[in-house]
Amino acid sequence: MLNFNLTQPPKNLILLLSLIGLSTVPINTLATPRINNSSQYGNSIELNNHLINIPWRIDSTNRTSKDSVQISDIGLMQNLGVNLLNTNNSSQQPIQWFSDSVILSAQYIRPYRYLDLSNFPASSQWEIQPNGTTLKITVPPSIIQSISFEPLPLEIEPSLKPSNFILKKIIIELDKPTIWQQPIPDVQKRLPSPTPQPSSPPLTDDPTVQNQTKLAQPSPPTLQDWSLILEAKANPQLLSNNIYNIKLQSQNSQTRLQFSVPPGWRPVVTSLDSPYRLIVEIKPDFLQSKNILWQPGIRWRQEYIEIPKTETTSLGSLLNRIFKTPESSVERFPVYWLEVDLKQPQISLIPILSNVNSRQGTSPLLDIAQKADVLAAINGGFFNRNNQYPLGAIRFNNNWLSSPILNRGAMAWGQDKPIIMNRLILRETITTDSGQTLPLQYLNSGYVEAGISRYTSDWGNSYTPINNQEKIIVVENNQITRHIDAPKSGSPAIPIPVQGYLLVIRSRPDLLNLLPIGTRLQLQSQTEPSDFQNYPNILGAGPLLIQNRQIVLDAALERFNPAFQQQKAIRSAIAITPNNTLLILAVHNRPNGSGPSLAELAQILQKLEAITALNLDGGSSTSLYLGGYYLDRPFPTAAPVHNGLGIVITGESLNVNNQ
């Protein structure tokens, strides 16, 4: 049994429950770390008889000292109230937890970054005992001595605050520091405000559909039931004079406080000493800035990015001008991003897929990333959420898993090649032995248009008709061997020849007469622009946002529907900076508002010094993954996706001097 009895005088400390402080990850989504035989490891911690899903390991390699207990850094932050501070040394992680800054040793064992608890500042004795894959931690509980409330001096427009929500500050006084965590909130309907606001339509995964132009009907606002769980005892009578509808439950040395939060707001928790206190402030601007060198060449950043506010001609803005109501001249967006130093030779990029054997399928990005064994990842291109087929370019090791569509933006990369981004078309034709040339629409794509599309074994072992009345042509060794009539979508699957391909005719049955059985075919394939042809890896989405530092956004040119062009929503993007740093980022809702428009996203990327940038799939698909966790959102709120971009570290170590 390992005992920790490490005390240090606590000082003022701000611990923030941002979105990343809410992500309780199910145990079956946690990856198994790569460890040696002298270590014990697991994915769950039993804290005072309460199970929490956090990766841990005990290193017994040092025979001259006691075993080293290590816990995932993001797991500590998201589940135990430990604040990770900024650092430029990936092997040393400063933290704060009711104390001055303390530095813990950090070690990366794929896919987690572990922090050594030897210097963890605990004001009471911890007992730690491994039990199979569970690490049992016993911490003497604190005692909540009082709970009080103070007004919260926030200037909020009445229309932005639900009528039944009272701005307040919750002050919890303790006899000593305690561990606390934030479970995932539940959304429940509450009383509507006097003037409910209409919401925007959801950001579709298929931005070509034309049925998204109608705005959603106004809906009553919601309050979320949020909880703060403390390893502390409390007397329920502490809230005898409760006028704020705060609920308190105390059982088995654990106390839960439940309170209501307006949509888009989050609790900000501050810890203080003399006496020990937790201060809970419910605020719309909740994000804590971070700048952490997570591994050499991989830097984790998050902060609010400000851009100029776009002038509007709404009734509200006109009234503000008439009555001279003060109005901010900037918009502030919470941005989570990773900076990837592409000059590091051990860092590489790969497309990652929900289904490696077929182009059909979706999974949470967290699952996809862990199966692909990547360090970091972001969601990728669009897809059809109904049939789970891709809607854009995916090329891996020179194989077209899915072709680009509709002249949409894509990025390309390869070893010793600079990353390029541009609008992309794949032009394919077949020429018959009689000299007739026919254009092909798409290759291995879920996007359907009249004409001929081609499907190879990179689509999967077989092809299932997507549309009604498809005509299938089997080509083997460059010769047509069979015609198959598929009367309706979902007809029996047709095997795709390994030494050949299928041609699928849609809405043009006359083309079948031009391609009789026995015809020999010659295939031509070329990308536009032509330089994409020489790149082994391509990932497409769109629209293209920035080229040569200039905003080049033209969603209509890439055939996105008007509603998608105008939508304000959570978004993902990828960009390159002048020093050859790759940015993968997620932008969430502005305080008391919606996410960015495409134009606002481009401005945010300009503020981050992007010289070229591409929009990715967004909305509920937006997911930024690092070291076994989502950085930008709770696990249950991330929708399954089809594909993504993965960041891989090869070799045992990186060049620390090249950061």
Query: What region, left, alpha or beta, does residue 213 occupy, with left being phi > 0 and alpha being psi -120 to 50 degrees?
Result: alpha
User: Of 180-194, 321-335, 400-414, which gets the smallest average pLDDT?
Assistant: 180-194
Provide the pLDDT confidence category of residue 168 given band limits of 50, 70 and 90. confident
Query: Can you tell me the mean pLDDT for 265-279?
Result: 84
| C-alpha separations of 392 from 1, 84, 291, 562, 613 in Å | 54, 38, 33, 19, 17
What does the block give as tokens for 56?
A: 């841990």
For the cut 80, the answer to whether the pLDDT of residue 284 exceeds it is yes
Strand partners, 494: 463
Domain end point (choices 528, 549, 564): 528
- Judge whether 212 lies within some domain: no
Is 250 in the same domain as 148? yes
**Distance in angstroms (rounded) separating the CA atoms of residues 515 and 438:** 10
Is 544 in contact with 556 (CB distance < 8 Å)? no
Q: Is residue 197 part of a domain?
A: no
Q: In this predicted model, which residue has the larger pLDDT, 11 or 495? A: 495
Residue 392 lies in a domain: yes
> How many domains is the chain partitioned into structurally?
4
Q: What count of residues does the chain have?
A: 659
CA–CA gap between residue 406 and residue 427 (Å, rounded):
11
Check whether residue 416 and residue 540 sit in a common domain. Answer: yes
Tell me the average pLDDT across 407-421. Answer: 96
With a cut of 50, say whether residue 188 has pLDDT above it.
no
Say if residue 429 is in the same domain as residue 411.
Answer: no
Instruction: List Cβ neighbours of 550 (8 Å cut-off, separation of 6 or more).
Output: none
Lowest mean pLDDT among 52-56, 177-181, 326-330, 517-521: 326-330
CA distance 98 to 81: 10
Tens of pLDDT, residue by residue over 368-388, are: 999 999 999 999 999 999 999
- Is residue 28 in a domain? no
Question: E strands along 88-133, which residues?
Answer: 92-96, 102-109, 112-116, 126-131
More confident residue, 22 or 570: 570
Q: What is the pLDDT of residues 316-359, one digit of tens each?
A: 555 555 555 456 789 999 999 999 999 999 999 999 999 999 99
Tokens matching residue 508: 């043009």
Q: What is the pLDDT of residue 199?
A: 42
- Integer Rg of the chain from CA: 27
Cβ count near 238 (within 10 Å): 19
Ordered DSSP codes for 191-203 = PPPSSPPP-PPP-
pLDDT value for 326: 52
Full-model pTM: 0.87
pLDDT for position 210: 57
Task: Give the range among 151-160, 213-222, 259-268, 454-463 with minimum mean pLDDT.
Answer: 213-222
| Contact predicate 586/601, CB 8 Å | no
Residue 543 CA to residue 537 CA, distance in Å, equals 19
Instruction: Dig out the tokens for 137 from the structure.
Output: 């931690």
Instruction: Please give the pLDDT value at position 616.
Output: 98
Inside any domain, residue 318 = no
Cis peptide before 543 (omega within 30 of 0): yes
Q: Output the six-digit token pair for 344.
A: 């590091």
| Same domain flag for 236 and 347 | no
Same domain, 479 and 553: no
Residue partners of 174: CB distance under 8 A and separation at least 6: 142, 143, 144, 145, 230, 232, 275, 276, 277, 278
Cα-Cα-Cα-Cα dihedral sign, residues 28, 33, 35, 38:
negative
For residues 55 and 174, membership in a common domain is answered with no
Other C-beta atoms closer than 10 Å to the C-beta of 89 total 14
Residue 276: which residues within 8 A CB-CB, separation 6 or more?
A: 10, 98, 142, 173, 174, 175, 176, 177
Q: CA 570 → CA 420, 567, 624, distances in Å?
A: 25, 10, 12
Distance CA 371, CA 359 (A): 16
When pLDDT is averaged across residues 8-27 and rounded to a whole number, the result is 41
Q: Is residue 437 part of a domain?
A: yes
236 and 350 part of one domain: no
Structure tokens at 186: 């539940």
Q: Is residue 508 part of a domain?
A: yes
Place of tokens 């009711």: 98
Same domain, 436 and 551: no
pLDDT more than 70, % of the chain: 80
Structural domain ending residue among the three candidates 98, 121, 138? 138
Return the SS3 of 648. Answer: strand
Q: Are residues 550 and 644 in the same domain?
A: yes
User: Kind of pairing, strands 376-379 and 521-528?
Assistant: unpaired
- 643-655: per-residue pLDDT in tens? 999 999 986 443 3
Q: Does residue 18 sit within a domain? A: no
Q: What is the pLDDT of residue 18?
A: 37
Q: Which residues form the domain of 53?
A: 39-138
E-assigned strand segments in 285-393? 290-295, 298-308, 330-341, 347-353, 376-379
Strand partners, 439: 429
pLDDT over threshold 80, residue 424: yes
- Boundary residue ending a domain (513, 528, 543): 528
CA 113/CA 219 separation, integer angstroms: 43
- Number of C-beta neighbours around residue 82 at 10 A: 24
The pLDDT tens digits of the residues spanning 464-490 come to: 999 999 999 999 999 999 999 998 888
Beta-carbon-side half-sphere exposure of residue 120 (alpha carbons within 13 Å): 26
From the list 9, 67, 631, 638, the residue with the least C-alpha distance to 364 is 638
Q: What is Dmax (Cα atoms) for the chain?
A: 91
**Residue 155 token pair:** 């200037």
* Residue 505 vs residues 430, 466, 467, 502, 514: alpha-carbon distances, Å: 13, 11, 10, 10, 12
- 235 with 276, same domain: the answer is yes
Tell me if 411 sits within 8 A of 469, measured CB to CB. no
Alpha helix segments (H runs only) across 198-237: none
Residue for token digits 């790149």? 535
Rounded CA-CA distance 459/448 in Å is 15
Q: Report the range of poorest mean pLDDT among 30-39, 122-131, 184-193, 452-461.
A: 184-193
Q: How confident is the model at residue 265 (pLDDT cuts 50, 70, 90)?
A: confident
**pLDDT, tens digit (0-9, with 9 covering 90-100), for 551-580:** 999 999 999 998 898 899 999 999 999 999
At residue 400's C-alpha, the angle toward residues 541 and 452, to 5°, is 90
